[in-house]
Amino acid sequence: MRYLKILEYALASLLRRPGKTCAILVVYTLMIVVLASVLFLTQALKTEATTMLAGGPQLVVQKTMAGRHELIPVSAVEKLVEIPGVKAVKPRVWGYYYDALTGTNYTLQGFDTLANELSLLNGRLPREEGECAIGAGVARSRLIHLQDELILIDYDNIGRIFTVTGVFVSAADLLTQDLVVMPEGPLRQFFGMPDSLATDLAVEVYNPNEVDTIANKIKRSLPDSRPITQSELLRTYHAVFDWRGGMMLALFSSALMAFCILAWDKATGLSAGERREIGILKAVGWDTGDVLLLKLWEGLALSLLAFLSGCLIAFILVFWWGTPVLGGILRGWSVLFPALRPTPFIDFYQLGTLAFLTIIPYVASTVIPAWRAAVTDPDEVMRAS
């Protein structure tokens, strides 16, 4: 009961000084918004990457020559199918295209190699030479729509005209933003790629637990190849996003330090009224422990309010507004950014980490000022006023 009474007094005391409370609350909240946005966005990007890769092949085999990626002979398929545990091997034809007109990079993909995501299409898939389906980003950058023409320059510097028969809907943005899809034959002609070669091989495996073993067998059977498993890709994505998020947090640590100095300063600069208040409290029987408790409650109430409102604003920024500034930095570097609409989630570990990063420095920087206030001598204060 005594604790609750002191809490009540602490809240009333915060409300009695709205200017000072608001000043610290606004800065505290802003700092939490920035740090929470970084944390939420990093987690959201990791989740999106996991979802995106889940639809892809379990194992991709690339050929390397002199340490660089090379086109792989389609004949390698026969060797790989013989490995026990391998369900199917599909040669994939795809590549990059730099569009000098808009200064963007497109991904050109052979029709056979796409899986489930093709259902998210307005119009239909290309059926013959001279037709293509494009991602929403390509349509936007070229200002073209369904049934319009897309002109691309092939490997021989000859312009080729493709009719747009389908545009991918924006729900599939993360996968299809910069995509141009056409049948495999015309794409080979466009890139000048012989029929005997493919960009890479997608391997399907019966038992997902055997993927690493099969990757080892492939490496033995084709020594100049590089098998890339889905879990490896996922691990790399997680490491990259964690690293970027961590770098951002490390950069913001200077802001955190500035905030701690502000908190220290605000807590130290007691007004004459506050000093008199503490003096009177002590004169009427409060001891140092009670005043310390009062200051603790004040600090915790302020922290909790700033923490909750900061997290709420960050939540809205990341999951609703699409992170206008931070998104570009954390996602990577590209001209055609897919619109990011991550699935909202609340992770208690993230909130705990955030509390550790923000509340601990605040508490630490207000301990000594709180003690200074608590040991105020009532006699001295009364005389001074």
Partner 1 sequence: MILHPGVLALLLGGLVSLLMLSAGALLGIRIARRWNPDGAEADQLSLERRAWLVAVLVRWAIVFEALSLLLFIYTAEVIHPLFVGAMCATGTLNANPIGWHLIWIKLLLFLLGGLWMVLNHLDLQCPEAPLTRFKFIALIPFLPLAIADLTLMVIYFAGLEPEVITSCCGALFSSGGDGLASELAALPLRPMMIVFYAGLAAYGCLVLLSLLSRRPWMHYLLALASGLFLVLGLTAIVSFISLYIYELPTHHCPFDMLQRSSNFVGYPIYLSLLGATICGLVQAMLEYLCRIPGLSVITSRAQRPWLLMTLFFWMLFALLTGWPVLFGPLAMTAYF
Q: List residues binding partner 1 (CB under 8 A).
A: 38-39, 42, 234-235, 238-239, 242-243, 245-247, 249-250, 253, 288-289, 292, 349-350, 352-354, 356-357, 360-361, 363-364, 367-368, 370-371, 374-375
Please say whether the beta carbons of 326 and 252 come within 8 A.
no
Q: What is the smallest separation between the CB atom of 237 and partner 1, expressed in angstroms?
A: 10
CB 79 within 8 Å of CB 207:
no
Q: Confirm if 28 and 306 have CB atoms less than 8 A apart.
A: yes
**How far is residue 13's CA from residue 369's CA, in Å, rounded to a whole number?**
17
Q: How far is the CB of 257 from partner 1 (least distance, A)?
A: 11
Q: Which is nearer to partner 1, 75 or 288 (CB)?
A: 288
Least distance (Å) between residue 256 CB and partner 1:
8
DSSP 109-155: EEGGG--GGGGSEEE----STTEEEE-HHHHHHHT--TT-EEEEE-T
Q: Output the smallest distance, CB 272 to partner 1, in A.
A: 21
Phi, psi of 73 (to 5 degrees): -65, 135
- 194 vs 246, which CB is nearer to partner 1? 246
Instruction: Select from 10, 20, 24, 46 the least CA-distant residue to 350.
Output: 46
CB of 169 to partner 1, least distance (A): 31
Beta strands in 154-209 (DSSP E): 159-168, 179-182, 197-198, 200-205
Q: Which is nearer to partner 1, 82 or 287 (CB)?
A: 287
* Token representation of residue 303: 């922290």
Closer to partner 1 by Cβ: residue 70 or 242: 242
Closer Cβ to partner 1, 146 or 233, answer by number: 233
Q: How far is the CB of 81 from partner 1 (least distance, A)?
A: 27
Name the residue nearer to partner 1 (CB basis): 151 or 360.
Answer: 360
Distances (CA, A) of 196 to 107, 130, 321, 359: 21, 22, 48, 62
If residue 95 lies in a helix (H) or strand (E), which one and from where to where?
Answer: strand 94-99
